[in-house]
Structure 1
Amino acid sequence: MKHPFHFKLQLAPFFPYLHPLLTPTFPRCLWTGDLSQPEICLTFDDGPHPDYTLALLKVLDSYQIPASFFWLGQSVERYPEIAQAVYQRGHWIGLHGYQHQSFPFLTEIELKNSLEKTQDAILKACGLEPKFVLDVRPPNGLFLPQTLTLLTSWGYRPVMWSVVPEDWVHPGVDVVTHRVIKQTRNGSIIVLHDGDHGGKDVAKTAEKIIPKLLEQNYRFVTIPKFWQSAKPVI
C-alpha cells in the first residue's frame, strides 16, 4: 500500500512551475503573502511530535522566530502538552485533518467530522476559541474545487504553500536547505514537517535555513499576517 505522501512526492519536483498556474486558478486559497514585502512564513505540518516538535521549538526559541503549525487531530490528542507548549510560545495553529487523509477521498460528512475533531482537540489542548483555529491545509496538497467550496462554506480558510523542499523523503539537511534558500522570495510560504514523515531532520534544517534567510533580510511572520494582504475574492 502506498503511503499517502506518494501523491505529493510526484507533484513536488514540479511545484515551482505549477505554482504560478495554481495560484490564480484557486484564488480562495492562500498561496503567498505580499510579494512586495520581504516577509516569509515558515510552516510545519503533521505534528505535534514528542521528539521532533520539541527539538524544533528550541531552535525557534533561540532565534525568536514565529511559525505556523498545521496539526493532525490524533497527534494533538496524544500529545496535548506539546501542543500547549507550541501555542504558549506565540506560534499560529491550523488544521491538517484528524488523520493524514487526502480530503478528496473523504465524504462531505467525513471531512467535516475530521476538521471538527481536530479543531476540538486543539481548543481543548490550548484553551483557544474556535474563531482562532480556522486555517486548513489539505494533506498532500490535494483538493478539488468542491473541497474548497465546502471549506469556505464551513468558515475555514484554505492555506497552501509556495516552497516545497520534499523534506519527507529525507534527502538530507543540506539538500532541503539549498532548495528552501533557492526558492524563497518575498511572500513565500515554506512548508516543512515535524511529524513522523520528515520530522527527524526538521530541527537541524530550521537551524540552517533561519540564519541564512535572516541574512537576506527576510522577516518571519505567521499566516494571519499573510491573510491581511490577500485580495478578497468576489
Structure 2
Amino acid sequence: MQLSPLLPIVYRILQPNFPNCLWNGDRNFKAIALTFDDGPHPQYTPQVLQVLDNYNIKASFFWLGACVNRSPAIAKAVSDRGHWIGLHGYDHRSFPVLSPSELKESLGETQTAIYNACQLLPEQVRDVRPPNGLFTPKTLELFSQWNYRPVMWSVVPEDWVLPGVATVVQRVLNQVQNGSLIVLHDGACGGQDVAATINILIPQLLQQGYQFVTVDTLWQHSKIN
C-alpha cells in the first residue's frame, strides 16, 4: 500500500502537536528546501550534484554515517559545494527502538564520519531527520538536551518505492507551497530516479517563482531555533 495520499494528512496532524520541529519554512516567503535522505551514494549522489550544479541550487542532505564512511570523497564533494549537511543516524535504524545511549552513539558516530570526510565540526552538523520520520516525545527531549535540531518534512512524494519519475514530479507539484520542505532520496532506495526527477522538477518550480534555500535558511526564517 502506498502511503503518499496519507502523508499530507499525517503532516497536518503532527505539525501542530510538535511545534519545536522544523516542518516547513515561512509561508509568507516563496522559498522551499529540497532535501535528500539516505546518502551519500557512490552513483546517485554525484548525479544529483550534477543537476544541482546545472541550476546553481543549494540543497540539504541528511546522511547515514555508514554511507559517509563508505563514500567519503562523495561526501566531501557535497560539502565543498556549500550544500547543507544533516544527520539521519548511522545505519537507518528507527530512533524509537534505540536506547538513549545507542541514539547518542548513532548521531555521534555520524558526526565523526562527517568530520573525517568533510572537516565539519559536530556543532556545524546538528540538524537531525529521524529515519522513516519516526520519533517520540522522548526522542525530541533528547535532541534538545544534546543540542540537535529536529527536521521533518511537508512534502513526501514516496519516491523510495519507485513509482516513476513522472509520478514523483506530479506529487511534488500538487503539494508544494511557500516554505515547503521536500524530501527525496539519493540512497539505495529511490536514488535510481532522483537525478531525472529533479532535472524535471527544478525548472518547473523555478518557473513558478520558487527560490531554493537550505534547511538552515528555513530555520532562520522560522520562529523556533
What TM bracket, shorter-length normalisation? over 0.9
User: Which of 30, 53, 57 is 2:49 aligned to?
Assistant: 57
Q: CA deviation at 1:19?
A: 1.5
Other-structure match for 1:4: none
Cα distance in 1 between the residues matched to 2:121 and 2:99? 27
Q: Count the aligned residue pairs.
A: 225
Aligned residue for 2:39, secondary structure, equals coil
RMSD: 1.1
State how 1:82-97 maps to structure 2 within 5 Å: 82-97=74-89
Cα distance in 2 between the residues matched to 1:18 and 1:48? 28
Structure 2 counterpart of 1:94, which letter?
A: G
Structure 1 counterpart of 2:43, which letter?
A: D
Aligned residue for 2:6, secondary structure, equals helix
Other-structure match for 2:70: 78
Unaligned runs of 5+ in 2: none
Runs of 4+ in 1 over 2 A off after TM superposition: 9-13
Other-structure match for 1:34: 26
TM-score by length of 2: 0.98
Structure 2 counterpart of 1:198, which letter?
A: G
Matched, 1:98 2:90: yes
User: Which of 144, 153, 160 is 1:152 aligned to?
Assistant: 144
Structure 2 counterpart of 1:108, which letter?
A: P
Structure 2 counterpart of 1:63, which letter?
A: Y
Please list the CA deviations of residues 76-124 of structure 1 after superposition, one character each: whole Å capped at 9, or x if unmatched: 0000000000001110000000001100011111100000000110011
Matched, 1:17 2:6: no
Q: CA deviation at 1:18?
A: 2.0
Structure 2 counterpart of 1:197, which letter?
A: C
User: Which of 198, 212, 223 is 1:206 aligned to?
Assistant: 198
Other-structure match for 1:43: 35
State how 1:52-201 maps to structure 2 within 5 Å: 52-201=44-193
> Could you tell me the percent identity over the aligned residues?
60
Cα distance in 2 between the residues matched to 1:10 and 1:70? 23
